[in-house]
Amino acid sequence: MPDTTKSITKSHEKSSSSRTVVVLISKNTFGSGPEELGQLLLRNFIKNIKEASPVPVALIFVNTGVHLTTTTSPLIDDLKEMEVKGSWVLSCGTCLDYFKVKEKLLAGKPSNMTEIVSLLLTADHIVAP
């Protein structure tokens, strides 16, 4: 597995004024409350964050959040667009295995906790909706 952390660090060394932002999505809803509302809010969050400048260096999906990167997700096109704009889209491999959806991954790549922890510890700012 390539060292994403080094790649992200190198790609953002050019500008000392740019902050590295990592988005950590740990469930398939935004906030707590009615599930349908949470899903709508998360879709809106992703659609809006992809228009941010600069885009986050990484979107990390863990726990039930990994479902958003698989065949059942309405966000695949948005996540692929984030990749084109330069964001890493990473899904926890343990979570993909647990939910038996690794073969359904459509956006980004599987990752591991070592890589995830490294990205979180080196980010200037972490957004966790």
Report strand pairing: 125-127 vs 109-111. unpaired
pTM: 0.86
Enumerate the domain spans of the chain. Answer: 27-127
% of residues, the chain, pLDDT over 90: 78
Q: What are residue 58's DSSP bridge partners?
A: 22, 88
Q: What are residue 63's DSSP bridge partners?
A: none
pLDDT band, very low/low/confident/very high, at 8 (cuts 50, 70, 90):
low
Region 34-60: mean pLDDT is: 94
What is the longest distance spanned by two Cα atoms in the chain? 43
Distance CA 30, CA 42 (A): 5
User: Which one of 3.40.1260.10, 1.10.287.3510, 3.30.300.30, 3.40.50.1820 gives the CATH number of domain 27-127?
Assistant: 3.40.1260.10
Phi, then psi, of 26 in degrees rounded to 5: -105, 5
- Which among 48, 53, 58 has a CA at the least distance from the CA of 24? 58
Reduce the DSSP state of residue 10 to 3 states and report it.
helix
Distances (CA, A) of 30 to 37, 71, 112: 8, 20, 23
pLDDT band, very low/low/confident/very high, at 19 (cuts 50, 70, 90):
confident
